[in-house]
Amino acid sequence: MEDKELKALISLLDDEDHEVSTHVEQKIISIGTSIIPDLEREWESNFNPEIQRKIEDLIHTLQFDLLQERLEDWKNSGFEDLMKGMWLVATYQYPDLEYSELTQELEQIYYEVWTEFKPDLTPYDQVRILNSVIFDKLKFRANTKNFHSPANSMINIVMQSKKGNPITLCVIYMMIAQKLELPIYGVNLPNLFILTYKDDKTDNQFYINVFNKGLVFSTEDIDNYISHLGITSQEIFYQPCTNLDIVMRAMRNLIVSFEKLGEYSRSDEVKILLKSMEDFSS
């Protein structure tokens, strides 16, 4: 679209005739996500607060559409890249976040662990090294003070602040472990996301509570935990889950966070994203 045409459309956004302004909004949205940079430039050069607000709403709508498209692509690709899935969750709140930023930060964390890692150690000692570097040296920790903050579900913020909830801390820990070729995976335990070290070749399996500085525990401990909750034991409480399961759980956490803050329009939008994922997984 030519600049003149776009400026003409934008000048009509605060038209007194609601039908005219609505038609203009629909016209701009119909152009698609490619117009977002043009809208951002128009927002910067426009000094009408009402038009600026409407441009912001249009940009948000288009960015939400773009996020839905990207999630669809991620699902269709087999959701193998967990970092990409977590990046997509973060772009709901930080639409300008670059995927490459996250991979570079993860690479730096991996390097810190790799320099101290010894592949010939026992699995328990390998986990002990992971715990030492991630929690003692790099100071990653549970954000217990602001547990329901939306930032805890944003992997970019967690990597910067080094504080997060069980799911984001587990994701970082797991991705580092898998880069080290360790068989460590996510497990969907009720009320707490954990990891499992599961080596089918040696039939060796144990569990890791990343939210508690990598505390190692056993199947019997999970049995006791499930019994304490008073719920029926299920196989999914003990076995690895998929990357899709992890991203959906991150979205559920985000929904709860927004609802705790009373930001119901945001929680409703994340529910739309989650529903599309649930439809795919069912």
- For CA atoms 127, 150, 245, 91, the dihedral sign is negative
Residue pLDDT, tens place only, 248-259: 999 999 999 999
Task: Please give the pLDDT value at position 11.
Answer: 75
Task: Please give the pLDDT value at position 26.
Answer: 87
Task: Please give the pLDDT value at position 2.
Answer: 62
**Residues 6 or more apart whose Cβ sits within 8 Å of residue 72:** 276
- How far is the C-alpha of 192 from the C-alpha of 260, rounded, in Å? 18
User: Which residues of the chain have a pLDDT value below 70?
Assistant: 1-3, 15, 280-282
- For CA atoms 126, 128, 133, 135, the dihedral sign is positive
Residue pLDDT, tens place only, 46-95: 888 888 888 899 999 999 999 999 999 999 899 999 999 999 999 999 99
Task: Please give the pLDDT value at position 42.
Answer: 81
Residue 267 tokens read as 């929680």
**Ramachandran assignment for 187, one of left (phi > 0), alpha (psi -120 to 50 degrees), beta (any other):** beta
Rg, the chain, Cα only: 22
**Residues 6 or more apart whose Cβ sits within 8 Å of residue 133:** 112, 113, 116
In the chain, where the domains are located = 3-76, 82-281
Could you tell me the pTM of the whole model?
0.89
Phi then psi dihedrals of residue 3, to 5 deg: -55, -40
